[in-house]
Structure 1
Amino acid sequence: MPKDAIHAPRNLPLAFGAGATIGALGGLIGLGGAEFRLPLLIGMFRFAALEAVILNKATSLVVVAAALPFRAGTVPFGLITAHWPIVLNLLAGSLLGALVGAGWATRLKSETLYKVIAVLLLAIAGVLVFGHDASAGQPLLAGTAQLVAGVAAGFVIGIVASLLGVPGGELLIPTLVLLFGADIKLAGSLSLAVSLPTMLVGFTRYSRDQSFSVLGRNRAFLLVMAAGSVAGAFIGGLLLGVVPDAVLLPALAAILLISAVKVWRHA
């Protein structure tokens, strides 16, 4: 690991501002912005790939935990618990996927992990453009087929969430809408119910790796960036719908595309 990845100065006001900006960008489309935060941790703040993923996951945990009570005003907890079979269906796959993804991330060479991150950022850019406008309707599948598809989708989402240190809402929400026919607002809350335990499992796996010490070395940085991310996500949520999706989604996808290229070059 390059020395500057460990000893680079951490500008706390910049961390708050970056977290707030990323949180607001994500909030504009109903997400937390973790996909945009990861490239900044690598590029602007010069963390090594695995350290950036772990910091991103820790920040995402704070953002998701803070989002749950905010979402309660829109979707009551009672409505979420009424859909517990869907949550358990996805968790059956995502928990295992989180373990697998975190295991891969800790074993991959740093150069390879940069490339994996870049490819996944490209894939998420595609999902933003082509999958974010999913609307509720009849579930694609039913019965056993839906159950199997839910586990498989959860497994893939769990892997991606661990490899990027993200909650996975950009993948979970379209899955909940298309596969289970959930309303978009309900899907947003259900995705948090799946994301939180999935991230905790991945976080536990990462805690066994020496790179986990990055959290202790950068505690103030983590807390400041998390605070900025929560504030930004709240502001972005208030502005939800102000910028037309036809303009916003391609712009955000372009940001991810540029970020993917820059991350790839780190390899």
Structure 2
Amino acid sequence: MTHDVRPAMAFGWGAIIGTLGGLIGLGGAEFRLPVLIGLFRFAALEAIILNKAMSLVVVASALPFRAGTVSFGAIADHWSIIVNLLAGSLLGAWLGAGWATRMESPSLYRVIALLLVGIAAVLLFGHDTHGSGIPLMSGVVQAIAGITAGLVIGVVASLLGVAGGELLIPTLILLFGADIKLAGSLSLAVSLPTMIVGFTRYSRDDSFAVLGRNRRFVLVMAAGSIAGSFVGGKLLGIVPSTILLPALAAILLVSAARIWRHS
């Protein structure tokens, strides 16, 4: 089944999703996956692969966009944090993608639904975190915690086809004491190689052919997501977090319920 016949619809939904993500400093892939499954009627594994491809495009474009706020030099200065998280997230991405390709469709739908509920909880209780600038731990304990957190984030990112920023940013703030702007850029630096590893693992599955059949759809929806992210970023702060985060969490909960029933 091909969805290339609806480019305007794909761009429009991409823009809406990107705007929602941009409002909270994310790419919006958490909201894209339910749309791919519920509205465009892709099977679970195909939707994850498509979401992963579009997330890669959005994240790759976001890094240079943020260079004016946080320079590449500042990111490089914190290479040890990036390496620490990647030590777990790369393995997690490979494992998560492998599990997704082996799961029966009903089980995969349920896993997606449960993970969306978890992301909603993070939006409500973890995303609006403002760290003290002092890391929770240091030394070997911090390194082990970083690898463990990276492993979990890599698995979740692969299973949902997302960049994982909604989990990485609170981790960077709380575990490593990064400020919010630096955490946003560091999360992108961790997300990009993590997604590439997951994407490489998915390429070994027959479902990967969905990208070839829907090439135009992917490019158009990704372009809409990038445009929406830019708009959402400009609107950042206009809508109070006390209203925005519960509203977005509610969207994810409704989506999770529908995907659970879809299974």
TM-score (norm 2): 0.98
* CA shift digits 1:63-121 (9 cap, x unpaired): 00000111001000000000000000000000000000000000000110000000000
Aligned to 1:216: 212
Aligned to 2:150: 154
1:237 aligned to 233, 236, 244, which one?
233
Query: Which letter maps to 2:226?
Result: V
> How many angstroms does 1:157 deviate by?
0.1
How many residues in Structure 1 have an aligned counterpart in Structure 2?
A: 262
1:102 aligned to 79, 93, 97, which one?
97
Q: Does 1:62 align with 2:57?
A: yes
Aligned to 2:19: 24
Q: Does 1:115 align with 2:107?
A: no
**Where does 1:1-267 land on structure 2 (aligned, <5 Å)?**
6=1, 10-137=5-132, 138-267=134-263
What is the alpha-carbon distance in structure 1 between the residues aligned to residue 5 and residue 40 of structure 2? 7
What is the alpha-carbon distance in structure 1 between the residues aligned to residue 156 and residue 128 of structure 2? 21
Cα gap change, 1:220/1:198 in structure 2, threshold over 3 Å: closer, same or farther?
same
User: What 5-or-longer segments of structure 1 have no aligned partner?
Assistant: 1-5
What is the alpha-carbon distance in structure 2 between the residues aligned to residue 165 and residue 140 of structure 1? 29
* CA shift digits 1:137-171 (9 cap, x unpaired): 21111100000000000000000000000000000
Contact 2:85 2:146 in 1 (8 A): yes
What is the alpha-carbon distance in structure 1 between the residues aligned to residue 129 and residue 174 of structure 2? 7
> How many angstroms does 1:136 deviate by?
2.2
Q: Which runs of 4+ in 1 moved over 6 A?
A: none
What is the alpha-carbon distance in structure 1 between the residues aligned to residue 99 and residue 108 of structure 2? 9
What is the alpha-carbon distance in structure 2 between the residues aligned to residue 70 and residue 157 of structure 1? 24
* CA shift digits 1:174-212 (9 cap, x unpaired): 000000000000000000000000000000000000000
> How many angstroms does 1:7 deviate by?
5.2
Contact 2:2 2:213 in 1 (8 A): no
What is the alpha-carbon distance in structure 2 between the residues aligned to residue 132 and residue 60 of structure 1? 19
What's the Cα RMSD here?
0.8
Contact 2:18 2:226 in 1 (8 A): yes
What is the alpha-carbon distance in structure 2 between the residues aligned to residue 226 and residue 217 of structure 1? 16
- Aligned to 1:197, the other structure's residue is in SS state helix
* CA shift digits 1:20-48 (9 cap, x unpaired): 00000000000000000000000000000
Query: Which letter maps to 1:18?
Result: W
Cα gap change, 1:162/1:20 in structure 2, threshold over 3 Å: closer, same or farther?
same
User: What 5-or-longer segments of structure 2 have no aligned partner?
Assistant: none
What is the alpha-carbon distance in structure 2 between the residues aligned to residue 145 and residue 11 of structure 1? 51
What is the alpha-carbon distance in structure 1 between the residues aligned to residue 165 and residue 184 of structure 2? 7
Query: Which letter maps to 1:107?
Result: R
What is the alpha-carbon distance in structure 1 between the residues aligned to residue 129 and residue 4 of structure 2? 42
What is the alpha-carbon distance in structure 2 between the residues aligned to residue 141 and residue 128 of structure 1? 23
